[in-house]
Structure 1
Amino acid sequence: MTLHQQIDKAAGVPAIARPSEPAHIITTDAEAIEIAHKLANDFIKDAAKRDRDRIWPVAELDAFSQSGLWSINVPKAFGGPELSYGTLSKVIEIISAADSSIGQIAQNHLGVVAAIRTVSDLDQQKLLFGEVLKGTRFGNAFSEFGSKRAVDFETTFTDHGDHVIVNGRKFYSSGALLAHKVPIVALDDQGRAWYAIADRSAPGLTVIDDWSSFGQRTTLSGTVILDNVRVDKAWLVPGYKGYEVPTADGAIFQIIQVAVDTGIAKAAIDETVNFVRHKSRAWVDSGLDHAYDDPYTIQAVGGLTLRLHAAQALLEKAGLAIDAAVAHPTAETVAHAQITTAEAKILSTEVAIEATNKLFELAGTRSTLAEYNLDRHWRNARTHTLHDPVRWKYSILGKYFLNGEKPPLHAWS
């Protein structure tokens, strides 16, 4: 029986134990990519089973965060690697091609690390970055289920001197269940949004395993209930400051979403090639002995691969733009990072959905058998790409290129 089957889904899930050893600290971009490939080779082995049986990726997450990949955007001034966002996004793409749920779980952690760099004072940065370098994993309790818009929050905190008390209810809380710390978006008495970073085991913080989406099933993105949760002010991060003036924070949250979708597209194309090469039959009217000689299949795979490579190139370009905006945040550099990331978001969404759909068309009826669980790629792509709609990305691009209007400053842009 798996761990999650032993727990009543209506009840809160206990916090997990932290690894006993400190996490590795990566030193170079090349090392990060090498480690990502090694982890991906392990994660892919049981990815279909984890999705089918909804098995929590406990050991996988420990390996992922202990590898040093969860601290790669910690600044060098605090002992971190401070690798490029091109490398960070490539790492997420590699991991997501193996298991996109695991790739997504890291997203909010890395985004919060970026926000701490932008908005926290030196003492807070020293404290929080020190924890990240040890291997502390941040989850998230950001979005709320019943609000009119994603940026509307009812969760609040009240000031109690050296600490605050947080009350509210969250959903879409990817990573919270298996986190060590849970950053909570909560409003102060002026309506400003902060990250109140609570201990996962804090009294009053309840994480419920009620994520029922047909895709990204093991992100465990369920409900978080906050009932008088205490957070010391040392762990209260003024996240709102990251959007009062132009910063790269929004583009950083976005590029990791892009990397997940690009990884899903890569996985689907790899599955297509493997199935057509080894399992599919040639069509009856083709006169061919092998499915991989079918000219229509050849053309389709070529087209999909071309669009994947274009998405990967835009992802790399967006990483360079974000690096420039982090180094020199101005209205112009930030807008360029947002626009380039939006372009990558559009293409990665479209190729992920197309590739996961074409998989079955090109591989044939046998590819739909439950034993292969290949539909997880389409389910994951369809679910994850809903995070922020591409139709609004086209709008952002049109307004920028036609009228010079810069994108709005928030985590969805």
Structure 2
Amino acid sequence: MTNAASVSSVAPSPRRPASIAGDEEAIEVATLLADEFAVGASDRDRDRLLPWNELEAFTASGLWGITVPRAYGGPGVSNRTLAQVIAIIGAADGSLSQIPQNHYYALEVLRVGGSEEQKRFFYDRVLEGDRFGNALAEVGQRDFTRRTRLVGDGSGAFVEGRKFYCTGALYAHWIPTLAVADEDGKRTSYLVFIPRNAPGVTITDDWDGFGQRVTGSGSVEFEHVQVEPEWIVPFQASFDRPTTIGPQAQLMHAAIDLGIGQGAYREMLRFIKERSRPWIDAKVERAVDDPLTLYGVGEVKLRLRAAEALLGRAAALVDAAQRDMTEETVAAASIAVAEAKILSTKAGLLAGTKLFELSGTSSTLSEDNLDRYWRNVRTHTLHDPVRWKYQAIGSYYLGGKLPPRHGAI
């Protein structure tokens, strides 16, 4: 269901967010927010109610600035904390955990490839309450060639093109946009930070996937949008050398899947305790004493715990790679994240499925809307195919082959 309507180009006015001191406080704040977000999550999903109020509270909490380095006024939390924050929010509302993913992604692109002036300007904007969305992907072609262009003439630089899967753009103050330019016979990619209210920007709320319904992952069109040179950040150059842009991005995706799975697991426990019946052959009075139900609950918990452990290990290796970006450290981080992503995908899907299998037929009633967990994790896990991660892992351990440098490994 979608209203497929063009959205006003006037961004909401930001307010100065709270200041988060460090990792421990970030976890505490995320936990409190998650309790609030969980209350209306089912209604927002069912009726496709865009979470404007929740996003304002999310931004005001200071969590959108936690990866801003300390040298630029932010808390500079670890990637382990970042992943935990995303998973905590994801257990409450999978859409709300995905919306800031590309915001953090843009901050990492800035950290790796932005100039000193760009870092100071955009980091400051985030600490003042600005949100970044994204306009990276394009549809309608099968060759992965980017067709959104950065062109120049005597009057300045302009962006022209159309994007889809623009998660967060609907709610953003700036839309980091992947555009290509022809320079000296070569095609070069840039990430252009475009104000949402710039003339020529049209945001259309036409995302109608069966999951992640309120992520704002629709279309953005750029019609000869003029941009300032200070908003243009090198992108391709950050993949011509080993950097942590890819592994950190994938770490966040794994955290989203883990969080949704954890939310499904909690709902499963609640439903079994409060409403489920044991199977007749179990010869027990309560579902919590059904031996095969106990087996299934244990299986889900084990998979989620294992995914969480691998996510923590991967985060530590991303931290290490950020401190010292070499071929070896970045490759090790990428492979560790791939391992975590495989397990978080499997565990999240298992939790979403077992929620129904172990809870029984009554768990499928539309009034409970419990299918949102499966729909959300199934939709989000399609972001990139884990079957290719198995291949990368095998090549790394068996043949010493380094994984490719792009944002999906």
Q: TM-score scaled by structure 1?
A: 0.96
Cross-structure match for 1:155: 148
What per-residue deviation string (whole Å, max 9, x for no partner) do you get for residues 203-254 of structure 1? 1110101111000001021111110111111111112221010011100111
Matches within 5 A, 1:178-193: 178-189=171-182, 190-193=186-189
Q: Comparing 185-194 with 331-340, which one deviates more in the overlay? A: 185-194
Tell me if the contact between 1:140 and 1:184 (Cα under 8 Å) persists in the aligned partners.
Answer: yes
* Distance in 2, Cα, partners of 1:45 & 1:103: 15
* Distance in 1, Cα, partners of 2:227 & 2:393: 40
* Distance in 2, Cα, partners of 1:64 & 1:274: 26
Name which of 40, 44, 50 aligns with 1:46. Answer: 40
1:164 pairs with 2:160: no
Cross-structure match for 2:267: 271
Tell me if the contact between 1:176 and 1:182 (Cα under 8 Å) persists in the aligned partners.
Answer: yes
How many angstroms does 1:77 deviate by? 1.1
Tell me if the contact between 2:7 and 2:170 (Cα under 8 Å) persists in the aligned partners.
Answer: no
* Distance in 2, Cα, partners of 1:135 & 1:145: 31
Equivalent position SS for 2:40: helix
Matches within 5 A, 1:178-257: 178-189=171-182, 190-257=186-253
1:22 pairs with 2:6: no
What per-residue deviation string (whole Å, max 9, x for no partner) do you get for residues 326-348 of structure 1? 00000000000000000000000
* Distance in 2, Cα, partners of 1:128 & 1:276: 48
Name which of 114, 122, 127 aligns with 1:128. Answer: 122
* Distance in 1, Cα, partners of 2:238 & 2:105: 11
Q: Comparing 388-397 with 162-171, which one deviates more in the overlay? A: 162-171
* Distance in 1, Cα, partners of 2:119 & 2:155: 18
How many angstroms does 1:282 deviate by? 1.6
* Distance in 2, Cα, partners of 1:407 & 1:114: 20
How many angstroms does 1:17 deviate by? 1.6
- With over 3 angstroms needed to count, the CA separation of the structure-2 counterparts of 1:233 and 1:281, relative to structure 1, is same
Cross-structure match for 2:94: 100
Query: Structure 1 counterpart of 2:265, which letter?
Result: I
Tell me if the contact between 2:282 and 2:291 (Cα under 8 Å) persists in the aligned partners.
Answer: no
Matches within 5 A, 1:280-295: 280-295=276-291
Equivalent position SS for 1:166: strand
* Number of equivalences: 406
* Distance in 2, Cα, partners of 1:96 & 1:161: 47
* Distance in 2, Cα, partners of 1:236 & 1:162: 16
* Distance in 2, Cα, partners of 1:30 & 1:142: 32
Q: Comparing 71-80 with 52-61, which one deviates more in the overlay? A: 71-80
Equivalent position SS for 1:191: strand
How many angstroms does 1:10 deviate by? 4.0
* Distance in 2, Cα, partners of 1:223 & 1:297: 44
Q: TM-score scaled by structure 2?
A: 0.97
How many angstroms does 1:284 deviate by? 2.0
